[in-house]
Amino acid sequence: MELPPVETTFDGPIVDAMTAAVLAEDPGARTLPYMLSAGTDAKSFQRLGIRNFGFAPLQLPADLDFSALFHGVDERVPVDALKFGVRVLDRFFRSA
């Protein structure tokens, strides 16, 4: 069964918690919505009335060509970017 595309607004307690977690680690950061062109389970959850958000915080260096590494043979992120993401996710989950 093919399900229609889904979308949701970028507001509410979960978005507030994501934003607060990012800002605690990087006060100059901005959170913003984006469209994911890959497949997810969001369509199934949307039918149940559950909103869906992806949240994978990384703080990448400005000179890193991340898109060239994405899903490539040598896909990777800098260790500092990963450590940043772990701190942000820890704050986010502890705030829930």
Tell me if 2 is assigned to some domain.
Answer: no
Task: Please count the structural domains in the chain.
Answer: 1
Tell me if 1 is assigned to some domain.
Answer: no
DSSP state of 48: T
Domain limits for position 19: 13-95
Tell me if 4 is assigned to some domain.
Answer: no
State pLDDT tens for residues 22-57: 999 999 999 988 877 777 888 889 889 999 888 989
Tell me if 60 is assigned to some domain.
Answer: yes
Instruction: Give the mean model confidence (pLDDT) for residues 73-96.
Output: 92
Length of the chain (residues) = 96
The domain that contains 64 carries what CATH number? 1.10.150.900
pTM: 0.83
What would the two tokens of residue 32 be?
A: 């913003």
Amino acid 83: pLDDT: 97
How far is the C-alpha of 82 from the C-alpha of 59, rounded, in Å?
8
* Contacts (Cβ under 8 Å, ≥6 apart) of 81: 58, 59, 60, 61
Tell me if 17 is assigned to some domain.
Answer: yes
Tell me if 22 is assigned to some domain.
Answer: yes
Instruction: Give the mean model confidence (pLDDT) for residues 9-23.
Output: 95
